[in-house]
Structure 1
Amino acid sequence: MGAVKGKRVPRAVREQQMLDAAVITFARHGYRAASMDGIAELAGVSKPLVYLYLHSKEELFSAVIRREAAALVAAVTAAVEPHAPADRQLWSGLTGFFAHTAAHPDSWAVLHQQARTQGEPFAHEVAAMRAGLVDFVADLIGAAARESECAADLPAREVAGLAHALVGAAESLAEWANVPPEGAGSDDAPPADPRAAAERTAATLMNFAWTGLHRMMTGERWGPGVAAESPGVGD
């Protein structure tokens, strides 16, 4: 009697295993230094099988970017609390962003460091993801303006600029959030609970950005040579 053959792994499962291995390899070695041999070995498959499924290193990298970008966007949108006030929705979405990037550091390294520096078409893939996040944040800012009954005071271009700034700040904070500074004490270290760490980082950004947004929505504007009035002065 012949040997019993092992159970065949479905193509979709095998492909995800290859993508998982590719994320780790690209994040830790960089796109140019990453090898298909190394990816195949980490995935536990032959190199010809990687080429059969994903055709080339370039197509493999593009597939990785698309999958990881979709996962990040899904995490952000799923984290938003529906029907909550706009500020709470924005905070919960930021929390989802920071929680996902902290839980998937290799994925974030591919999106934020590798893909952006390798030219087209990779940079375009990441730009499309970022544009989606900017539109999402702009919608939340617009909703907040409507809640404050000042939509006319925030032109669409200004809302778009604020959304770009907020997304850029979130991207920068994601690099910083879970790395305590050298010589930092226990008060400076990220919370042991990853969710608490994400919430604290989101609150840091909200305290920086939302206070200014709220003041804009009430009609207060900064300008060079215009002194801001302190709360309670003259009351």
Structure 2
Amino acid sequence: MGAVKTKRMPRAVREQQMLDAAVRIFGRRGYRAASMDEIAELAGVSKPLVYLYLNSKEDLFSACIRREAAALTEAVRAGVRPGAPADRQLWEGLRAFFTHTAQHPDGWTVLHLQARTHGEPFATEVAAMRTEIVTFVTQLIAVTARDAHHDPDLPEHEVAGLAEALVGAAESLAAWANTTPGVTARQAAATLMNFAWAGLGNLMEGRPWTSAVPLT
């Protein structure tokens, strides 16, 4: 065990240190394997102080999820310029997403893997974040449809489905990119942009996919 620091500092700062340490431990060891002793040591505080500030391991994990989810959604929103062309907005949103997940791999692991596999209320916290991002992407796709002038009334269910598919692809690609050496955030964003925009572009220009044979 390392020596516990005793230097006094504002509670908010100390709490962020604890959350930083917890995200790192949870992200690398998993929720069940992570120990409060490890988290306290990494944060440079006593274990009783962690409990005093954050109550329990469950509450600490929930606090990590909320913080990381808020940071990710804010990064995506901040990365998009509202007045930019639709394709630029989508590109900027994807680039912001992949940049943030690459810069905070432990936080992304907590959100994408750990929180979803340990039941309520953790999964609910992540679901709320995902809903917010899907809503944001839905709005971007709706703007794209309007800007295309060809089909400004793209059915709502199709817009919603496209947003769900795009967010799901981004989540999977981020997990892959973070564990694949040599893949940068920009490359990951470009890969998904090329994949998504080829389809979106055709759809907005009135060239949806049709089968050469009757669908069954």
Instruction: Give TM-score scaled by structure 1 length.
Output: 0.84
Question: Structure 1 residues 218-227 or 64-73, which shifts more?
Answer: 218-227
Q: 2:188 aligns with which of 190, 193, 201?
A: 201
CA deviation after TM superposition for structure 1 residue 179, in Å: 4.2
CA deviation after TM superposition for structure 1 residue 81, in Å: 2.4
Structure 1 counterpart of 2:24, one-letter code? I
Distance 2:99 2:34 in 1: 27
CA distance 1:135–1:204, shift in 2 (3 Å): same
CA distance 1:178–1:55, shift in 2 (3 Å): closer
CA deviation after TM superposition for structure 1 residue 221, in Å: 2.0
Which position in structure 1 is the counterpart of 2:72? 72
CA deviation after TM superposition for structure 1 residue 82, in Å: 2.9
Structure 2 counterpart of 1:151, one-letter code? P
1:220 pairs with 2:204: no
Q: Provide Cα deviations, 1:91-124, integer angstroms capped at 9, x if missing partner.
A: 0110001011111111111011100100000000
Count of aligned positions: 208
Specify every segment of 5 or more residues in structure 2 that has no aligned partner in the other structure, as ranges. Answer: 1-5
Which position in structure 2 is the counterpart of 1:160? 160
2:105–2:178 contact (8 Å) kept in structure 1:
no
CA deviation after TM superposition for structure 1 residue 46, in Å: 0.8
Task: Please give the secondary structure, in 2, of the residue aligned with 1:219.
Answer: coil
Which position in structure 2 is the counterpart of 1:31? 31
Which position in structure 1 is the counterpart of 2:122? 122
Q: Mapping of 1:26-65 within 5 angstroms?
A: 26-65=26-65
Q: Provide Cα deviations, 1:157-208, integer angstroms capped at 9, x if missing partner.
A: 1100000000011111112225447xxxxxxx33xxxxxx322221211111
* Higher-Rg member (1/2): 1
Which position in structure 1 is the counterpart of 2:105? 105
Distance 1:26 1:137 in 2: 29
Which position in structure 2 is the counterpart of 1:139? 139
